Amino acid sequence: MQTLLGFDFGPRKIGIAVGQLLTRSATPLTTLRSRNQQPDWPSITALIQEWQPAALVVGLPFNMDDTEVDWSPQVYRFARQLHGRFGLTVHLVDERLTSIEARHQLAARPGSRPPTREAVDALAAALILETWLCEQS
């Protein structure tokens, strides 16, 4: 089974999920906070060593009018850094509305409390990864 990691990149936090190509499903793992405006590379490295993914998927944020958000260059930079540091293929996928859907799914759980930003970001990463997995034929 090919394992992949998915990333919901944000300037302050990065949600991360793990998924399988065979099942085309993903599970939220964690949300990492940036340190000094840099991704938490030691924690990302540890996750990549633990899960040994075949590839990585990063969500690319778009506005509803199909234009990229103003901080898209940071997402492209993060994707290039992932590829450069780990030598893995990095796929970019439209992440439009994934955080809203994640918030909705978490709020719909029976007996749930208002979802934390960390839970939303990790679930958004899983939704981003599942979007990419479902696009594969």
The Cα–Cα gap between 26 and 17 comes to 6
Per-residue pLDDT reduced to its tens digit, 121-136: 998 999 999 999 988 8
- Answer yes or no: is pLDDT of 112 > 80: no
Q: What is the mean pLDDT of residues 4-21?
A: 94
Class of domain 3-135: alpha beta
Q: How far is CA 49 from the centre of its chain?
A: 17
Q: Show the DSSP H helices in 6-91 as ranges.
A: 41-51, 72-86
Identify the band that residue 99 occupies on the pLDDT scale cut at 50, 70 and 90: confident
pTM: 0.90
The Cα–Cα gap between 123 and 105 comes to 9
Q: What are the domain boundaries of the chain?
A: 3-135
What confidence score (pLDDT) does residue 1 get?
Answer: 66
The Cα–Cα gap between 133 and 19 comes to 8
Q: What is the mean pLDDT of residues 39-56?
A: 97
Which of 30-39, 51-60, 93-102, 116-125 is predicted with the least confidence, judged by mean pLDDT? Answer: 93-102
